[in-house]
Amino acid sequence: MNSFTKKNTKSTAPARGSNPDRRQVKKKESTLDPRLFVKKAQPSGQEGFRTEKRFSELGLSSKLLQNIEGKGYQTLTTIQEQSIEPLLNGRDVLAISKTGSGKTAAFLIPIIEHALKDPRNYTALVVTPTRELALQIEEEFKSLSAGMGLYSATFIGGTNINSDLPKLARKLQVIVGTPGRLLDLSDRKNLDLRKVNTLVLDEFDRMLDMGFVLDVNKLVNRIGTRDQTLLFSATLEPGQKKLIDGLLSNPVEVKVSTGATTNENIEQQTIRVPEGQDKFEVLADLFANPEMEKVILFTETKRLADRLAKKLIQAGIKAGQIHGDKSQNFRNRMIEEFKNGEIRVLVATDVAARGIDVADVSHVINYQLPMTMDAYIHRIGRTGRAGKVGHAITFVN
């Protein structure tokens, strides 16, 4: 066998059990201009984050208002100010607003208000691209709706589907999940999607891209007619206009940002590592700086994420990793340890790029150039949240 055939065989017939995802990301190189990743922060801080409008002006149920204030939210963020009212009025909404600007509460508060009006006949379905994001949204729902007798559940892959069934035994006002598991439950007739009144696609541009759109279309078709559809994200994909129009009916469009810009509270810089220099050494040296307190380090591949986590630990830096080849238990544990400070660095693939809200992430590091500007915006958006200042560092050759 000559070397050509050998190579050919290898690329078309991956070893049994190899993950198809891995082939996709392997050879691609980012074509983004490194100059895009240098930007002085122009922190608008809390000022840019919050408006003057108080939650008490919205005429919300008193228990809900109490829970909101109990979370320390005093005034509305800009996206909340612009979307909560139309949502309370039953309108469809397309909402674009920067990372960390409070989109979750913007859709959950009106959902809770609708649920309280008619708990026996109301169901909202919130669909997300990742399991961690689904869990996080349910957590926020629980804290906002505490003591109201409203019920929720999260249905995600990587868990035993039989453990979902007891949760479906009672009326749920809010269901959160990832598309695959929701469809499985619907296939098995355990979940009746026709009962959904409000559909939310969080990170909707991701939900409508190639990886998810078939599943999302299936879900939407099974839901059929509904009262409200809500689309939320920090980025907008111009090519998706038709899909979006097909989902929304006479929507209010709330665009707090253009959908193509990073959060101005993030200081962005690049580090050039010339060919031949040891990139890991440059990375490890960064951790001499005590300000690098809570760091998410993004890589393009799962394998590199594993390798970097291991090398960081060997270098005495507390690290863990999160990616699609890890069990859900492991992923949950890593997020937990990262939140409570047991690990300083979370090495991650893009599975952690969207939606994840961990307080006080000091730095996001891109070990490699991300493939798209949108990926960059979401990744670095894990820092500089809720009006705080954050830092992003991107390695370039």
> Which chain residues interact with Mg ion by CB under 5 A?
103, 355
Which sign does the torsion angle of CA 244, 139, 354, 71 carry? Answer: positive
Q: Is residue 73 a contact point for ligand ADP (CB under 6 A)?
A: yes
138 part of the interface to ligand ADP, by CB under 6 A: no
Candidates 141, 131, 82, 127; CA nearest to 230 is: 127
Tokens of 157: 């892959």
Q: In this structure, are residues 320 and 337 in contact, taking their beta carbons and an 8 Å threshold? A: yes
Question: Residue 270 touches which of Mg ion, ligand ADP, none (CB < 5 to 8 A by kind)?
Answer: none
From 100-108, 212-220, 257-265, 318-326, give the range in contact with ligand ADP by CB under 6 A: 100-108
Instruction: Using the minimum distance from each CB to ligand ADP, give the nearer residue, 80 or 383.
Output: 80
Please list every residue from 361 through 380 that binds ligand ADP, using CB under 6 A: none
Select the binding partner of residue 349 from Mg ion, ligand ADP, none (C-beta < 5 to 8 A, by kind).
none
311/313 Cα distance (integer angstroms): 5
As measured in angstroms, the least distance from the Cβ of 92 to ligand ADP is 19
Decide: is 354 part of the binding site for ligand ADP (CB under 6 A).
no
Q: Is the Cβ of residue 65 or residue 386 nearer to ligand ADP in the bound state? A: 386
Residue 213: name its binding partner from Mg ion, ligand ADP, none (Cβ under 5 to 8 Å by kind): none
**Contact of residue 73 among Mg ion, ligand ADP, none (CB under 5-8 Å per partner type):** ligand ADP
Q: Closest by alpha carbon to 36, among 379, 322, 269, 345?
A: 269
Which residue lies nearer to Mg ion by CB, 103 or 391? 103
State the minimum distance, in angstroms, from the CB of residue 306 to ligand ADP: 27
CB of 118 to ligand ADP, least distance (A): 25
The DSSP code sequence of 356-380 is ---TT--EEEESS--SSHHHHHHHH
Select the residue interacting with ligand ADP from 132, 164, 300, 357 (CB under 6 A). 357
What residues are paired with 374 via a beta bridge?
none
Q: How far is the CB of 101 from ligand ADP (least distance, A)?
A: 4
Nearer Cβ to Mg ion, position 91 or 378? 378
User: In this chain, which of 168, 386, 389, 396 binds ligand ADP, going by CB under 6 A?
Assistant: 386
Q: Cα–Cα distance between 330 and 340 in angstroms, integer?
A: 15
Element housing 243 (H / E): helix 241-247
- 213 binds ligand ADP per the rule CB under 6 A: no
> For residues 101 and 235, which CB has a smaller minimum distance to ligand ADP in the complex?
101
Residue 101 lies near ligand ADP (rule: CB under 6 A): yes
CA 377 vs CA 26, 165, 381: distances in Å: 22, 37, 6
**CA angle, 138 then 142 then 146, to 5°:** 170
CB 190 within 8 A of CB 157: no
Instruction: Write down the residue that tokens 């996080």 correspond to.
Output: 136
Question: Binding of ligand ADP at residue 110 (CB under 6 A)?
Answer: no
| Minimum CB–partner distance for residue 379 and ligand ADP (Å) | 13
Residue 100 binds ligand ADP, judged by CB under 6 A:
yes
In three-state secondary structure terms, 307 is helix
Q: How far is the CB of 382 from Mg ion (least distance, A)?
A: 11
- Minimum CB separation of residue 210 from Mg ion in Å reads 21
Question: DSSP assignment of 68-111, as one string?
Answer: HHHTT--EEEHHHHHHHHHHHTT--EEEE--TTS-HHHHHHHHH
Q: State the Cα–Cα distance between residues 280 and 290, nearest whole angstrom.
A: 18
Distances (CA, A) of 345 to 131, 233, 382: 20, 26, 13
Beta pairing class for 124-127 and 75-77: unpaired
Binders of ligand ADP among residues 8 to 67 (CB under 6 A) are 50
In the complex with ligand ADP, the residue whose CB is nearer, 79 or 345, is 79
Residues within the interface to ligand ADP (CB under 6 A): 50, 73, 76-77, 80, 97, 99-105, 357, 385-386
